């Protein structure tokens, strides 16, 4: 065999060999973002999430990629979305809400999952304990103290003559039954009658608000749920149309025209999630990373809506409010 033929043959044989020893570009980590909400109404929280990532040193398209999956309030889509992200071998999954967190947990025992949930993650079966999660899940919990009782107290302070309130629950929520019992106990503790209403679809809203209006229910409490949050503009519009005072779990509702809200700052929580994912990408283990509590709670009152409803906001509430929207 001639020398040049031998060299050509050798080159051909080695062309498919792995490039051992040659410097290679490290692969960019990919974050799977799984949410029960819609992208259109999550802009503020999504910006906060990326702000948190940036604080941890990670920037989309520069040194990390993000794969988004939005269920738009349809929880039945979440298992397929979660399985899809696992098949893509994402580095970590950010789960926005209890239903997404449960779907992600069912899809993988290996991929780290960082959740933000409005429920007790131990009660919901996500982790074994807050201090020692013990699995591939950890994250942020928005629960802190008796929020249902606090919201009922605020409603009664806003409307001192109130006797009956309603609560809106999504029965598809994994902890709907427990939330209903909590609301009932909270109402009893402050001496109010409670009417429980439920909705799983937008088409239920008309009937619910018609009933609340005809029954002359004093006020409505909207429970924490991704489906409700993604339909906040519609809920606020129904409450305005029927002149029903309502208290909501997040500022987003009050900014959209709701009367008032009391609860954790959702945007701040997503900032925490972004920073927590940064820790995981740098090597922290979810099993050994405690679940963090939301760090900021806020009372927000929409003064224009109060005026429209014919309500005078008591000076005590004005003084305690973290934000007054005019």
Do 30-144+266-297 and 147-264+298-325 have matching folds?
A: yes
- CA–CA separation, 178 and 100 (whole Å): 19
CB 115 within 8 A of CB 121: yes
Beta bridge partners of 140: 116, 292
Beta-carbon-side half-sphere exposure of residue 315 (alpha carbons within 13 Å):
0
Superfamily for the 30-144+266-297 domain: Response regulator (3.40.50.2300)
Note the pLDDT of residue 148: 81
At the second CATH level, the architecture of 147-264+298-325 is 3-Layer(aba) Sandwich (3.40)
What is the residue extent of each domain of the chain? 30-144+266-297, 147-264+298-325
Instruction: Using the CB atoms, write b or e for 252-283: b if 16+ within 10 Å.
Output: bbbbbbbbbbbbbbbbbbbbbbbbbbbebbee
Beta-carbon-side half-sphere exposure of residue 207 (alpha carbons within 13 Å):
8
**What is the DSSP annotation of 44-112?**
HHHHHHHHHHHHTT--BTTTBEEEEEE-TT-GGGHHHHHHHHHHTT-SEEEEESHHHHHHHHHH-SSS-
Note the pLDDT of residue 207: 96
Beta bridge partners of 141: 117, 293
Q: What is the pTM of this model?
A: 0.80
Residue 119: how many other CB atoms lie within 10 Å: 21
Write down the residue that tokens 């509590």 correspond to: 293
Token readout for 15 is: 């062309």
CB 278 within 8 A of CB 56: yes
Note the pLDDT of residue 301: 98
- CA–CA separation, 2 and 99 (whole Å): 69
pLDDT digits (tens, 9 = 90+) for 287-311: 999 999 887 889 999 999 999 999 9
Note the pLDDT of residue 26: 57
Q: Is 80 left (phi over 0), alpha (psi -120 to 50) or beta?
A: alpha
- Terminal CA-CA length for the chain: 90
- Could you list the pLDDT tens digit for every one of the 326 residues in the chain? 444 444 444 434 434 433 343 333 458 999 999 999 999 989 999 999 999 999 999 999 899 999 999 999 899 999 999 999 999 999 999 999 999 999 999 999 999 999 999 878 998 899 999 999 989 999 999 875 557 888 999 999 999 999 999 999 999 887 788 888 988 998 998 889 999 999 999 999 999 999 999 999 999 999 988 889 889 999 999 999 999 999 999 999 999 999 999 999 999 999 999 999 999 999 999 999 999 988 788 999 999 999 999 999 999 999 999 999 99
């Amino acid at each position: 065999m001639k020398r040049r033929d031998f060299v050509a043959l050798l080159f051909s044989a080695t062309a498919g060999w792995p490039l051992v020893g040659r410097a290679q570009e490290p692969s960019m980590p990919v974050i799977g973002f799984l949410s029960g909400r819609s992208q259109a109404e999550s802009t503020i929280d999504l910006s906060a999430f990326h702000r948190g990532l940036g604080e941890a040193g990670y920037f989309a398209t520069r040194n990390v990629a993000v794969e988004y999956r939005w269920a738009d309030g349809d929880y039945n889509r979440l298992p397929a979305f979660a399985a899809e992200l696992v098949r893509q071998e994402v580095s970590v999954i950010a789960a926005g809400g209890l239903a997404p967190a449960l779907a992600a947990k069912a899809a993988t025992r290996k991929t780290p999952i960082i959740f933000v949930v409005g429920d007790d993650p131990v009660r919901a079966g996500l982790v074994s304990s807050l201090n020692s999660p013990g699995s591939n899940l950890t994250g942020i919990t928005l629960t802190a103290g008796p929020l249902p009782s606090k919201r009922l107290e605020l409603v009664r302070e806003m409307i001192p003559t109130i006797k009956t309130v309603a609560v809106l629950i999504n029965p598809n929520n994994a902890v709907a039954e427990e939330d209903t019992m909590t609301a009932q106990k909270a109402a009893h503790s402050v001496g109010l009658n409670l009417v429980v209403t439920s909705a799983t679809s937008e088409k239920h809203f008309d009937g619910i608000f018609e009933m609340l209006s005809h029954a002359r229910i004093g006020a409505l409490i909207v429970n924490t749920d991704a489906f409700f949050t993604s339909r906040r503009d519609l809920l606020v519009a129904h409450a305005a149309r029927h002149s029903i005072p309502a208290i909501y779990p997040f500022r987003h509702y009050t900014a959209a025209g709701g009367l008032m809200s009391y609860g954790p700052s959702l945007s701040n929580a997503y900032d925490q999630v972004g920073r927590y994912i940064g820790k995981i990408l740098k090597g922290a283990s979810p099993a050994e990373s405690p679940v963090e509590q939301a760090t900021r709670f806020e009372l927000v009152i929409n003064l224009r809506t109060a005026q429209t409803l014919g309500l005078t906001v008591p000076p005590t509430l004005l003084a305690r409010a973290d934000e007054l929207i005019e």
